[in-house]
Amino acid sequence: MDTIKAVLKNKSVMKKIGFTLLAFLIYRVAVFIRIPLINPLPFQELFEGGFLGIMDAFTGNAMSQLSIVALGIGPYITASIVMQLLKMDIVPIFKEWSEEGETGKQKLNQVTRYLAIGLAFIQALGMTYGFQLQQGEAFFKTGVEPNFLVFTYLALVITGGTAFLLFLADQITLKGVGNGTSMIIVAGIISGIPGMFASLSGDYLTAADANYISYITFAVIVVVYILVLLGVTYMQSAARKIPVQYSNRPGSSQFKGRKDSNIPIKINSAGVIPVIFAVTILSLPQTVISFVPAIQQNIFGLWLSEMFDYTRPAGFAIYVILIIVFTFFYSFVQINPDKMARNLQKQNAYVPGIRPGIETENYISKLLFRITVIGSLYLVLVAVLPIITALIFGLPTYVQIGGTSLLIVVGVAIETTKQIKTDVQGKTYTGFIK
C-alpha cells in the first residue's frame, strides 16, 4: 500500500506508466488492422491449441485475425534465443562482443534485430502460403491472383508490423516501465483473459442448461486459477542464496563495507524458454500437416499427429522429457558455473568452506543441478496443468489454467514491480540528498 501511494505521488513514475498504457493502446489498435488483399479466416479451430494457439495468444489474437502485427515480436524472441546460443563459442566474434560491455551489447542487439527482421519475413511467407494452401482460392479477395509478388508483398507488410512493434517496445523500455519486449507480449496475453472468463461464465453461469453443478464447477475453476496464480508467483520469486565472503573487505569502523554477501540463484532460472521450445518442437509437424491436406489422410501423417500430440500418451511423455532436458540445458547456459567461479576468484571472493577455483565451480554445478531438478518439475507441472484440468473439468480449449502464458505474465509482473519500486526509491533518495 505504501508503494502504491509513493507511486501516485511520483510524477516521473506516473508519466512512465501513462506512456506504457498509451503504447498498449496503440498496439491493440494495430491488432485490428487487417492485412490487405485477404478474406477473413473461417477455420478458427487451427488456433485452438498447439503452436498456432500459443502464437495467437502471445499476439493478442492478432494471428487469427490476420492483422498486420500477426507475428507479434515472436521473430525477435527466436532471434534472441539463437544469438544466446551462438555466443557460446559457436561464433567467436559474438562471444568477443558479449565480453566488451555496453558497446558489445549494442552490437549484439543490432545483429539480433537484423536477424529478427529476416526471420519475420521468412515466417510471414510461410504463414501466408500455408493459409492459402489450407483455404484455397477463398483466401484472397476477388480479383487477386496468388503469385510470388503477392506473397512477397504480404510478407513485407507483416514484417513491417513486426518492425513497428520492435520500435514500440524500444520506446516502452526507454520512456515507460519494464522491458518493452516483455510488456508487449504480456499486453497480448492479458487482452485475452477477460474474453476467456466471459466465455467461461457464458458456458457455466448463463447458459440455458445451467444448474447448481455448473455453478460449483465455475467456482472451483476460478479458485484453482487463483491458487495456481499464487503458486506460480511464489515459485517465480523463490531463490537459493549462495553465501559469499570477500577477503579484501576489512570490517573496521573506518571501512563500512560488509565482508559477506550472497548470490541468489532462482529456482526457475530457465524461465519460460524450455516450455516454448518443447511446444514448438511438438507443434511444428502438426502445423505442417494441417497446412498440407494431402498428408492429413496419409498413414505417416496420422502417425506424426499421434506422436506429436501432447494430449496423447506418447506425445505427453515426449513433452515432459523435452521440458526437463531444455530446462537443464538453458539453466546451465544462463548460469555458467565456470564463469561464476572465475569471477568470484577475480574479486577475491569465496564461498565459505569451499576453496576458490575448480572446487567452487563443482560446488556451484552441484547446487545448480539440484535446484534445476526442482525447477524442471515445477515447469512440467505448470505446463501440463491445462491438459490435466481440461481432462478433469472437461474445459474447452480457450480456457488455460497454468501454461506458458501464466509463466510469462507473472514473471514480467514481478520484474516490472521491482523496477517501479527502484524508480520510486531512487526519486526519494534524490530528494533527501537535495
Rama region for 357: left / alpha / beta (φ>0; ψ in -120 to 50; rest): left
Average pLDDT of the chain to the nearest whole number = 82
pLDDT reported for residue 133 = 79
pLDDT reported for residue 413 = 86
Which helix (H) or strand (E) segment is 244 a member of? Answer: strand 239-246
pLDDT reported for residue 161 = 94
Phi, psi angle pair for 354, to nearest 5°: -120, 130
CB neighbour class for 256 (10 Å; exposed up to 12, middle 13-18, buried from 19) = exposed
CB neighbour class for 268 (10 Å; exposed up to 12, middle 13-18, buried from 19) = buried
Contact 134/47 with Cβ under 8 angstroms? no
The residue-averaged pLDDT of 160-182 equals 91
The residue-averaged pLDDT of 229-234 equals 88
- 293 or 355, higher pLDDT: 355
DSSP 34: B
**Does the structure show a pLDDT above 90 at 324?**
yes
376-392 per-position pLDDT tens digit:
999 999 888 888 887 77
pLDDT reported for residue 255 = 42
Distance CA 396, CA 11 (A): 44
Distance CA 105, CA 102 (A): 5
- Total-model pTM: 0.80
4-47 per-position pLDDT tens digit:
777 777 888 889 899 999 999 999 999 999 999 888 776 666 67
184-223 per-position pLDDT tens digit:
888 888 887 887 788 788 878 887 777 888 888 888 888 8
232-262 per-position pLDDT tens digit:
888 888 888 889 988 765 544 444 445 558 8
Residue with cell 564461498: 351
Q: Which three cell numbers stand for residue 285?
A: 509437424
77-122 per-position pLDDT tens digit:
888 878 887 887 778 888 888 878 788 888 899 999 999 999 999 9
Report all structural domains of the chain as residue ranges with CATH numbers, in order of start. 12-208 (1.10.3370.10), 211-249+257-434 (1.10.3370.10)
The residue-averaged pLDDT of 367-380 equals 92
pLDDT reported for residue 274 = 86
| CA 320 vs CA 90, 253, 277, 332: distances in Å | 28, 55, 12, 19
